Amino acid sequence: MRVGVVVLPEFSGPQGIRMWRRVEELGVAHAWTLDHLSWRGARGRPWFDSFTLLAAAAAGTERMTLGTLVASPNFRHPVTTATQAMGVDHLSGGRFVLGLGAGVAGPDADALGAKELSAAERADRFEEFVTMLDTLLRQPVTTRHGRYFQAVDVPMVPGCVQTPRVPFAVAATGPRGLRLTAAHADTWVTIGDPRRPGAETGQQALSTLRTQLDRLERACAQVGRDPGSLRRLVHLGRISADPWESPDRLADLTGACAELGFTDVVVDHPRPHEQRPDAMDRFQRAVGAVCAQTIHTQAS
């Protein structure tokens, strides 16, 4: 089991780099940031581009993997997204993971003035987004015409550090999205029930995750993929409030997810303007303790 942290893209400059370094010092395997133009209660507050911040984080860290959680076609184009992903992959020395999601209706979807899409159209667009990214990041020059995106004689030089391309972490829960995950992803991402994240009890959340894992297994069978070749990541902060409340609580949640078959968990970094005075201390103690135990167990 690998443990990671989600840091919202609210901090820039030296302060932001120091935060990413402190996260790495906890011993986490990976760290992520959200890819939105604005987000919930943060709308109107400082908020920065995820790829730019990850480039700075790459320059300020040495070991942990960095990624978007998740980039979507709501306001991203495959050509520019591929170029940015290749750049961060190089700046990080091959430590970048491109997290991808279909996107939902809301400010991100409205920002560019596009028409509102139905659920089926969003699924169509996401499939085209993922498959075009896959092509762009695998070959030096790409021309591809789709319903939603065009790529005309696009060079991708020197290509990714990681081969055959940067890994994809795909967020999906429906049958079509899970088949896309099985076909193209290196990691599957879930937040539990996407209709009401955080609203389920502990047992309900675990039951939802178990059902989703079963669906993922079936999707892998449909595309002829070994399910064991796919990492499985769950965002604990979306299924349980303050999972880092104590080392024991985080260890229990992590252990329960491992028993289900997950390989990775992530928790949210406390936000300074929202947290109670001891939140950062609790977060650091819990994450540091669980990471140390995970590393010790792997070494044994």
Q: Which residues pair with 144 in a beta bridge?
A: 151
Token pair, residue 30, equals: 């990976």
Q: What is the mean pLDDT of the chain?
A: 93
Confidence of residue 298 (pLDDT cuts 50, 70, 90): low
* Domain architecture of the chain: domains with CATH: 2-299 (3.20.20.30)
Answer for the pair 98, 167: CB distance below 8 angstroms, yes or no.
Answer: yes
pLDDT for 100-127, tens place per residue?
A: 999 988 899 999 998 899 999 999 999 9
Q: Which residues pair with 96 in a beta bridge?
A: 66
Tell me which of 61-65, 84-88, 207-211, 237-241 is least confident: 237-241
Round to whole Å and give the CA distance between 58 and 38. Answer: 23
- The beta strand positions in 85-206, using DSSP E, are 96-100, 141-145, 150-155, 168-171, 187-190
Tell me which of 71-85, 208-222, 242-256, 282-296 is least confident: 282-296
Q: Span 266-292, mean pLDDT? A: 88
User: What's the confidence (pLDDT) of residue 300?
Assistant: 41
pLDDT for 149-199, tens place per residue?
A: 999 999 999 999 999 999 999 999 999 999 999 999 999 999 998 887 767
42 φ, ψ (degrees, to nearest 5): -85, -5
pLDDT for 17-57, tens place per residue?
A: 999 999 999 999 999 999 999 887 778 888 999 999 999 99
pLDDT for 232-269, tens place per residue?
A: 999 998 888 889 999 999 999 999 999 999 999 999 99
pTM: 0.95
Round to whole Å and give the CA distance between 59 and 24. Answer: 13
User: What's the confidence (pLDDT) of residue 160?
Assistant: 98
Residue 206 has pLDDT above 70, yes or no: yes
Residue 22 neighbours by CB distance under 10 Å: 14
Residue 135 neighbours by CB distance under 10 Å: 18
User: What's the confidence (pLDDT) of residue 299?
Assistant: 45
Residue type, 80: T
Token pair, residue 193, equals: 């029930």
